[in-house]
């Protein structure tokens, strides 16, 4: 039997009879034969690989656990379509170099861009490379069209802030992610809009920016709690920071919910799933794993159909009522 027939049988071409195909499939199964990936990729001209470049700040070498869940969602989708996932952690200063290199040696068919900034250069750069991509998040100042999957950060933080105000809080802290990263900016916008609509004067000292680690949640919460006029409620950008906030409250002998209300954004991380009947934290919740799945889906669609118009998918975070929010204590 010729190579051609085997190849066609395995790849599902109609030119081969069902009987022949069965024979081939059985033989392949028997010898555990799988077409050699390398040869196949060269012959088809496809890499069948998606690149995820995660930028790591050289200084701190932080790797956000969020990636683990995002990638879990994406990975499942890739596997479905026979794509491999290439993961690369690169120093943040030369992320574009890495994209360029991947493109030049044609190692991937597409890439996912993480944590875009308000002014994100990678979008224009990737468009110029002609490498299909999808952004997890958006870039407010981007001029070109691009594929993205994002949650409605502005609106959900608006709602969170509003909820606290309606409970009676007038002094609310925001423990946000790194300044300049798009989602953090939008969250601040939502927070400020809610304050404004209720005629509450924002206080600069009430907003902090940092990587969303547990120690930073602790540190920033302490800073806010130690103000002469401390906020009675805090909004956190990540459940990991919320863990740090709890520790800070502990240190100051304050009780979460009773003394200080907290709302956190909850990415529904698998190792921090707040699944109690009454959730621990009142939260704006949106599964980052689902975002990963959708991003992967969008990217694969774009790869298969290069002419496709870029698309944006906006997920709505739910505002979930937990037990970490109460009216402010009366004094």
Partner DNA sequence: AACAAAATCCAAAGCGCTTTGAAGAATTTA
Partner DNA sequence: TAAATTCTTCAAAGCGCTTTGGATTTTGTT
Question: 262, 247, 41: which is closest to 173 by C-alpha?
Answer: 262
Q: Which is nearer to its own copies, 129 or 321 (CB)?
A: 129
Q: Where are the beta strands (DSSP E) in the chain?
A: 49-56, 84-91, 110-114, 133-136, 147-151, 172-176, 207-209, 233-236, 261-266, 282-285, 312-315, 318-320
Which position among 65, 116, 322, 328 is part of the footprint of its own copies (CB under 8 A)? 65
Number of shown-chain residues binding its own copies (CB under 8 A): 64
CB of residue 69 to its own copies, shortest distance in Å: 6
Instruction: Say whether residue 100 binds DNA (CB under 7 A).
Output: no
Instruction: Say whether residue 314 binds DNA (CB under 7 A).
Output: no
207 CB burial (10 A radius; 0-12, 13-18, 19+): buried
Query: What sign for the dihedral angle of Cα 48, 54, 55, 57?
Result: negative
CB of residue 25 to DNA, shortest distance in Å: 13
3-state secondary structure 22-60: HHHHHHHHHCCCCCCHHHHHHHHCCCCEEEEEEEECCCC
Q: Which does 246 bind (CB under 5 to 8 A by kind): its own copies, DNA, none?
A: its own copies
Q: Which does 272 bind (CB under 5 to 8 A by kind): DNA, its own copies, none?
A: its own copies
Q: How far apart are CA 288 and CA 151, in angstroms?
A: 9
Instruction: Say whether residue 250 binds its own copies (CB under 8 A).
Output: yes
CA dihedral 300, 304, 307, 311 (to 10 degrees): -20
Q: How far apart are CA 212 and CA 228, in angstroms?
A: 25
Instruction: Say whether residue 98 binds DNA (CB under 7 A).
Output: no
CA dihedral 68, 90, 213, 85 (to 10 degrees): -10
Which position among 22, 44, 128, 141 is part of the footprint of DNA (CB under 7 A)? 44
Instruction: Say whether residue 305 binds DNA (CB under 7 A).
Output: no
Which position among 22, 37, 81, 121 is part of the footprint of its own copies (CB under 8 A)? 37
Instruction: Say whether residue 39 binds DNA (CB under 7 A).
Output: yes
What Å distances lie between residue 205 and 140, 225, 228, 263, CA to CA? 25, 11, 11, 18
Instruction: Say whether residue 282 binds its own copies (CB under 8 A).
Output: no
CB of residue 304 to DNA, shortest distance in Å: 13
CB of residue 166 to its own copies, shortest distance in Å: 26
- Interactions with DNA, residue window 6-35 (CB under 7 A): 6-8, 10-11, 15-17, 19-20, 35
Task: Give the full edge-to-edge strand order of the sheet including 282-285.
Answer: 207-209, 172-176, 233-236, 261-266, 282-285, 318-320
Binding site for DNA (CB under 7 A): 1-8, 10-11, 15-17, 19-20, 35-36, 38-40, 42-45
Binding site for its own copies (CB under 8 A): 32-42, 45, 47, 52, 56, 60-65, 67-69, 71-72, 75-76, 79, 84-90, 100-101, 104-107, 211-215, 240, 243, 246-247, 250, 255-256, 269-276, 280, 289
């Amino acid at each position: 039997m010729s190579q051609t027939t085997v190849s066609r049988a395995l790849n599902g071409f109609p030119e081969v009879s069902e009987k022949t195909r069965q024979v081939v499939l059985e033989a392949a199964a028997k010898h555990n034969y799988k077409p050699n990936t390398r040869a196949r990729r060269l012959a088809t001209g496809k890499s069948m690989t998606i690149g995820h470049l995660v930028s790591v700040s050289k200084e701190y070498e932080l790797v956000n656990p969020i990636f683990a869940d995002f990638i879990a969602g994406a990975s499942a989708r890739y596997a479905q379509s026979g794509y491999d996932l290439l993961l690369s952690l690169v120093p943040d200063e030369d992320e574009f170099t890495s994209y360029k290199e991947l493109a030049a040696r044609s190692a991937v068919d597409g890439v996912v861009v993480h944590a875009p900034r308000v002014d994100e250069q990678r979008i224009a750069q990737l468009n110029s490379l002609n490498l299909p991509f999808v952004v997890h998040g958006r870039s407010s100042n981007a001029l070109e069209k691009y594929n993205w999957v994002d949650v409605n950060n502005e609106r959900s933080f608006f709602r969170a802030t509003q909820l606290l105000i309606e409970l009676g809080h007038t002094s609310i802290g925001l423990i946000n992610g790194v300044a300049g990263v798009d989602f953090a900016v939008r969250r601040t916008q939502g927070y400020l809009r809610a304050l404004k609509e209720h005629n509450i004067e924002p206080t600069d000292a009430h907003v902090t920016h940092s990587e969303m680690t547990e120690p930073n949640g602790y540190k920033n919460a302490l800073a806010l709690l130690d103000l002469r006029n401390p906020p009675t409620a805090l909004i956190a950008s990540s459940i990991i920071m919320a863990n740090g906030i709890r520790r800070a409250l502990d240190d100051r002998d304050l009780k979460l919910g009773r003394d200080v209300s907290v709302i956190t954004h909850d990415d529904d991380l698998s190792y921090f799933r707040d699944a109690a009947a009454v959730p621990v934290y009142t939260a704006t919740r949106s599964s980052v794993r689902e975002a990963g799945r959708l991003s992967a889906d969008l990217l694969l669609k774009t790869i298969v159909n290069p002419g496709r118009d870029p698309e944006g998918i906006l997920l709505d975070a739910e505002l979930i009522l937990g037990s970490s929010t109460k009216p402010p204590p009366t004094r």
